[in-house]
Amino acid sequence: QVQLVQSGGGLVHTGGSLRLSCVASGTIFTINDMGWFRQAPGKERELVASITNSGSTNYPDSMKGRFTISRDNAKNTVYLQMNSLKPEDTAVYLCYADSPSTAYSGSQFYWGQGTQVTVSS
């Protein structure tokens, strides 16, 4: 089993910055992709960013420019740097990790506990 524990988040004014962290622990064979989703009240969960274990990143067009994802493989940690935040960025942010338990397993996704990000106008 893999556990993901998030930190960071909170309340920030428009234009401010926040950094989220997510640490994976437990019985880890390998971690493939890691990333972040967010979900605002009344809206569907949407991808914010993802990163492979070799460092290749992916951002939906709507997230490009203000969000930066990074990871430290030695620490099994993924980060999300959020700049120039807007009220519409207010949501619960969830990290995930694809961590198969063996070399022959398919994808196994684990989720963090979620963290609230609130951007006030």
Q: Using CA atoms, how far apart are residues 12 and 90, in angstroms rounded to an integer?
A: 10
Show pLDDT as tens, one digit a residue, over the chain (121 residues): 899 999 999 999 999 999 999 999 999 999 999 999 999 999 999 999 999 999 999 999 988 899 999 999 999 999 999 999 999 999 999 999 999 988 888 889 999 999 999 999 9
57 CB burial (10 A radius; 0-12, 13-18, 19+): middle
- Can you give the pLDDT at residue 89? 96
Q: Using CA atoms, how far apart are residues 17 and 25, in angstroms rounded to an integer?
A: 27
